[in-house]
Structure 1
């Protein structure tokens, strides 16, 4: 219900603002909101050639392309004049994201189809894990901890192994593997959900822990920083880990208090201490490496572990081939069956993702997001917050809505202020310390047709705020 109302508010307010801008004269056309593409120039006016300044008219006539661009300075957007069919079209600025119709197309071609391919492959592997008995063994090992965090889940339930693989994939920055494991976990949890259209306590806890974004190897962030010529691309790794870890703990405490979980459980405390020890141990190892060593380690660790999971699954399936025979199938046929289920899951979640991304597209292209972010930055600056921090806030504000959009702000902030600036580093921490909340909710709850997400959205947004505040303090401390 909360998600539905929020979606309606975004949609209706964005459309209302677009129409207001058009009829008040602030916008010349709204075609870009529907048909424009990211980084396309925006048409702001159209005049007859005799109505434009003489020096611009002369420059257009001298140009073979019949265009003229005024490049004021690096801080202001260019204005381009294009002469065609007796009129001069005036363009200024670029579009922040794809319009509504291109978003529909790109959601299917650039997002859902690749996601379906990932789902097909990893769901095929998970079918092997199920039939070979690996998932059952993993669930038995981890049940003492998971039954404390998820008291409504029966002991040794298959969802435990799927959630473990999802957390591990997120932990290591394996985004392509994390989503299929997570969707399988949601499907498994839905089987024991007494109210099928309402999120269960276990599903909410899983979603909030997943969305808190605990990441040890921020491979993509390091790559973006290396491309932006950072002196040490991996220098934000520790701040990212600290921020995402605090976000994860905050999510666990907020949901745990709501669900009345026993925080004094010995097995729970042991599990938490083991996690902290693993993080500290790996940090100590990475910290003693030189720059090349850090880059080499962070680049290869995730890939090696993913390949290791694939190889181990196939070897174990070969060794337990009798179980496949007993199930009246073969290893390959089981893989194909699981992959087919992955494709069906991708088809199921497509409408949910489409609806959310189209709303976000309208929200950004309407100009409403920029106004809100500018006001928030203005309020923070008047509170005495450092300008280097307020310059990074657009990344934090857009991150819950769109990973691609916030990534664009991240790259822009590093190009504008420098990868080694406080703004560039803080933007990097914002980007890697949380998930795209609305996208995640649309995908995961949509995959099992959950309509009432209860307090999941509110909790995830609170955790996003906690991550933002933590990132600011951690970045100020480190840099």
Structure 2
């Protein structure tokens, strides 16, 4: 799938360039495409320098949290909920700890680090699966919640914005929090309907109702604020939460008499190994997307969508952010490249760039996750996993666009 997507970018760009040359007499289009290839290759390296630091830093702190028992504590706290949502998983099974650690990595926005942990969790769930080819209910719920991308602290999105020169990288903290909550809720409800999970169970309600009430009250409070106040609050909460987590991990580790420095180095080495494998993918996708835009093909597609949106009488400023949404289900690297390219083309704090960053932080690579997670354990029948995951992804995209109009409606397009 990824192979076809990448090849398709180049083929569509070639057809578009030929059309511009033969029909419009634009002979300079090929020079622009070649220049774009080298420019994007250079940009890939610049992005990777900061990505190395970000993944190394946060996997180091995540290792401290793991060794300090925070992850195990979370597994115990969430144990009663998982018992109801995944009744086929025995209490205390290793899969629960791995699922919790995977969710923790996703919550911190460390999608590249979450994948290897998620694969371990999927293998542990497969050990409980009576079928070797069909996904179990527990595997489907885990995958859909993973694909819904519950991101409480999107540090990699902050990193991309910082690399592109954003004066306040955490500006999109609250929009992503609201959009990702929506996608996760839709994913959970869709699986619950398909699997007939008893969400009205007192234990499940004890977890979900307070969370829903708190989120509702928080949104009601946000509704009383001006756009300027919303942006300021998002920045403050983002930075306070980010530094607060670091202090929590360190203090907890110290109180548990853990060698926090040694654990940080151990996790940082893992982060370095994860990061260094990403450069070839980033170069490949950024160059392909750079060629696609330089050829005029991407702009032609967006113009068509823009005219349709305007014909409906709607504001069309969000259309320039749609490339990230359109490729996100297929490839995380492609969506990441689309986000960076949107920031480059429109400005890091432009409305399209803010929407694209929110979409990137609140949705997941559905088909990639399906292929990798199920492929790793030989699952061939995904059952209702695809439909539920795509529904959650659609909810995340729609919510991201709506929330950005709420927060940044006055920002130029």
> What TM-score comes out, normalization by structure 1 length?
0.61
Determine the C-alpha separation between the residues in 2 that align with 1:440 and 1:163: 16
**Conserved 8 A contact 1:149-1:261:** yes
Cross-structure match for 1:81:
none
Cross-structure match for 1:159:
98
Match of 2:243 among 307, 320, 325: 307
Does the C-alpha gap of structure 1 residues 134 and 213 become closer, same or farther in structure 2, counting only changes over 3 Å?
closer
Asked if 1:33 corresponds to 2:1, the answer is: no
- Report the 3-state secondary structure (helix = DSSP H, G, I; strand = E; otherwise coil) of the residue aligned with 2:313: coil
**Conserved 8 A contact 1:104-1:354:** yes
The Cα offsets for residues 376-407 of structure 1, whole Å up to 9 and x where unpaired, read as: 2223344x333xx1343222344443223444
**Conserved 8 A contact 2:151-2:176:** no
Cross-structure match for 1:336:
265
Cross-structure match for 2:331:
none
Cross-structure match for 2:43:
106
Determine the C-alpha separation between the residues in 1 that align with 2:405 and 2:232: 27
Match of 1:118 among 21, 46, 54: 54
The Cα offsets for residues 302-338 of structure 1, whole Å up to 9 and x where unpaired, read as: 22222222222222222222xx5xxxxx432222111
- Report the 3-state secondary structure (helix = DSSP H, G, I; strand = E; otherwise coil) of the residue aligned with 1:192: helix
Cross-structure match for 2:215:
279
Cross-structure match for 1:192:
124
**Conserved 8 A contact 2:9-2:289:** yes
> What TM-score comes out, normalization by structure 2 length?
0.69
Cross-structure match for 1:390:
316
Cross-structure match for 1:12:
11
Does the C-alpha gap of structure 1 residues 349 and 381 become closer, same or farther in structure 2, counting only changes over 3 Å?
same
Determine the C-alpha separation between the residues in 2 that align with 1:449 and 1:105: 34
Determine the C-alpha separation between the residues in 2 that align with 1:105 and 1:237: 28
Residues 278-297 of structure 1: pairs in structure 2 closer than 5 A: 278-286=214-222, 297=233
**Conserved 8 A contact 2:141-2:191:** no
Asked if 1:252 corresponds to 2:191, the answer is: no
**Conserved 8 A contact 1:33-1:362:** yes
| Matched length | 377
Asked if 1:347 corresponds to 2:276, the answer is: yes
**Conserved 8 A contact 1:205-1:252:** yes
Cross-structure match for 1:418:
none
Determine the C-alpha separation between the residues in 2 that align with 1:349 and 1:445: 18
Residues 122-137 of structure 1: pairs in structure 2 closer than 5 A: 122-137=58-73
**Conserved 8 A contact 1:395-1:427:** yes
The Cα offsets for residues 339-376 of structure 1, whole Å up to 9 and x where unpaired, read as: 11111111233333433333322332222111112122
The Cα offsets for residues 97-145 of structure 1, whole Å up to 9 and x where unpaired, read as: xx223323322x2322322211112212222222222211111111222
Does the C-alpha gap of structure 1 residues 163 and 317 become closer, same or farther in structure 2, counting only changes over 3 Å?
same
Cross-structure match for 1:201:
140
**Conserved 8 A contact 1:396-1:468:** no
Determine the C-alpha separation between the residues in 1 that align with 2:236 and 2:229: 11
CA deviation after TM superposition for structure 1 residue 463, in Å: 4.6
CA RMSD in angstroms comes to 4.8
> Where is the helix percentage greater, Structure 1 or Structure 2?
2
* Rg comparison, structure with higher value: 1
CA deviation after TM superposition for structure 1 residue 452, in Å: 9.4
Gaps of 5+ in 1: 37-98, 170-174, 229-233, 325-329, 415-423
**Conserved 8 A contact 1:130-1:136:** yes
The Cα offsets for residues 183-208 of structure 1, whole Å up to 9 and x where unpaired, read as: 46435425536499x99636632432
Cross-structure match for 1:66:
none
The Cα offsets for residues 427-479 of structure 1, whole Å up to 9 and x where unpaired, read as: 85575355486879779988999699979888666555445555677889998
Determine the C-alpha separation between the residues in 2 that align with 1:463 and 1:114: 30
Determine the C-alpha separation between the residues in 2 that align with 1:365 and 1:410: 14
Determine the C-alpha separation between the residues in 2 that align with 1:333 and 1:138: 23
- Report the 3-state secondary structure (helix = DSSP H, G, I; strand = E; otherwise coil) of the residue aligned with 2:148: helix
**Conserved 8 A contact 1:165-1:181:** no
**Conserved 8 A contact 2:113-2:274:** no
**Conserved 8 A contact 1:348-1:447:** no
**Conserved 8 A contact 1:396-1:406:** no
> Where is the strand percentage greater, Structure 1 or Structure 2?
1
Moved more, 430-439 or 352-361: 430-439
